[in-house]
């Protein structure tokens, strides 16, 4: 482990060679860092969550901030994540095993909520995109690493048989996490295939249907949270009323001026079921060419929305 003290003392510059050296010579350092990590409750004093998401690369989705390969630069991604996690009001991170283990080795996950991304098999643009296999963390991996929960994506296309398999796997994953007493963040969408690929239906009526379906997964909903888009028609209150579960707003993609994006987040965060925000690219890559100072400003603005 490179050490939390070192990470806090120096600017967030990541030397990939150093990470590779540790991984090559002492792969057990990852498990040691996970065992030694200081944890925190899921919810802090505000009762709300701001989570930074970085699970896009494992699905082959690498574009951000106008750069089609922005998230393919692992050192730059980690520097942005370390910057975001160092800001007041950021509660934690969502990522795949490789990203979270890099952050563990960098000492960046002390007293942070750590959520593992579980199904990444539905690769962006693939013929099997909606047969979304659970190729990431398993429930037992999250428990062994002392992480704080899992996240799964549930895209529902009534015309694609892969959806049925994904629904079944998602329900059993809800059960598995509940057996460990770990929260699961389910991100549901109604989708369809277009000439441009799989596209989500973001009308409030579609979001409401996806909420109702996701809320009923598994043998218990005691540990289920929902991770939801803001409907395109602005009717979040209508859509989110479909379940009485804790919910977080997802950041989604944002282009150009982020003011309208922040205002939509603000409106959704006022709803009684909403307990926070999970955002990735709008915070880590807020504009084309944006550096670490811009990341800090974007994150601080989001933290003010979430925690007030």
Residue pLDDT tens, the chain, 308 long:
444 444 444 456 899 999 999 999 999 999 999 999 999 999 999 999 999 999 989 888 888 878 888 889 999 999 999 999 999 999 999 999 999 999 999 999 999 999 999 998 888 888 888 888 899 999 999 999 999 999 999 999 999 888 999 999 999 999 999 999 999 999 999 998 887 787 889 999 999 999 999 999 999 999 999 999 999 998 999 999 999 999 999 987 766 667 888 999 999 999 999 999 999 999 999 987 788 999 999 999 999 999 98
Domain 4-307: give its CATH superfamily: Aldolase class I (3.20.20.70)
87 contacts 51 by C-beta, under 8 angstroms: no
Cα distances from 265 to residues 113, 170, 262, 282, in angstroms, run 21, 27, 5, 12
pLDDT at site 258: 79
283 contacts 299 by C-beta, under 8 angstroms: yes
Assigned token pair, 49: 């969550």
By DSSP bridging, strand 197-200 and strand 184-194 are antiparallel
Nearest alpha carbon to residue 269 among 303, 299, 225, 222: 303
pLDDT at site 256: 60
pLDDT at site 254: 63
pLDDT at site 66: 81
pLDDT at site 158: 92
Strand, coil or helix: 92: strand
Alpha helix ranges (H) inside the chain: 4-9, 16-25, 29-36, 74-85, 97-105, 139-144, 162-179, 204-215, 236-240, 259-269, 281-284, 292-307
Q: What is the pTM of this model?
A: 0.92
Domain residue ranges in the chain:
4-307
């Amino acid at each position: 482990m490179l050490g939390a003290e070192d990470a806090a003392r120096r600017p967030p510059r990541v030397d990939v060679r150093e990470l590779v050296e540790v991984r090559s010579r002492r792969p057990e350092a990852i498990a040691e860092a996970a065992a030694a990590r200081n944890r925190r409750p899921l919810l802090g004093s505000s009762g709300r969550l701001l989570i930074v998401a970085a699970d896009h690369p494992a699905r082959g989705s690498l574009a951000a901030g106008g750069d089609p390969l922005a998230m393919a630069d692992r050192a730059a991604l980690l520097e942005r994540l370390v910057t975001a996690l160092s800001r007041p009001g950021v509660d934690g991170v969502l990522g795949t095993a490789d990203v979270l283990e890099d952050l563990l080795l960098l000492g960046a996950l002390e007293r942070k909520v750590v959520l593992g991304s579980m199904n990444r098999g539905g690769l962006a643009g693939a013929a099997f995109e909606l047969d979304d296999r659970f190729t990431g963390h398993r429930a037992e991996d999250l428990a062994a690493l002392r992480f704080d929960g899992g996240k799964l994506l549930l895209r529902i296309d009534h015309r694609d048989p892969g959806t049925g398999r994904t629904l079944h796997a998602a329900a059993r994953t809800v059960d598995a996490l509940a057996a460990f007493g770990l929260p699961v963040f389910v991100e549901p969408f109604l989708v369809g295939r277009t000439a441009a690929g799989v596209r989500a239906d973001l009308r409030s009526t579609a979001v409401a249907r996806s909420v109702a379906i996701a809320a009923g997964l598994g043998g218990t909903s005691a540990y289920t949270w929902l991770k939801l888009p803001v409907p395109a028609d602005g009717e979040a209150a209508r859509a989110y009323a479909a379940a009485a579960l804790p919910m977080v707003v997802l950041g989604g993609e944002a282009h150009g001026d982020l003011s309208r994006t922040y205002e939509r987040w603000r409106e959704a965060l006022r709803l009684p079921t909403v307990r926070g925000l999970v955002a990735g690219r709008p915070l880590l890559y807020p504009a084309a060419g944006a550096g670490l100072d811009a990341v800090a400003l974007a994150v601080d603005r989001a933290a003010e929305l979430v925690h007030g």
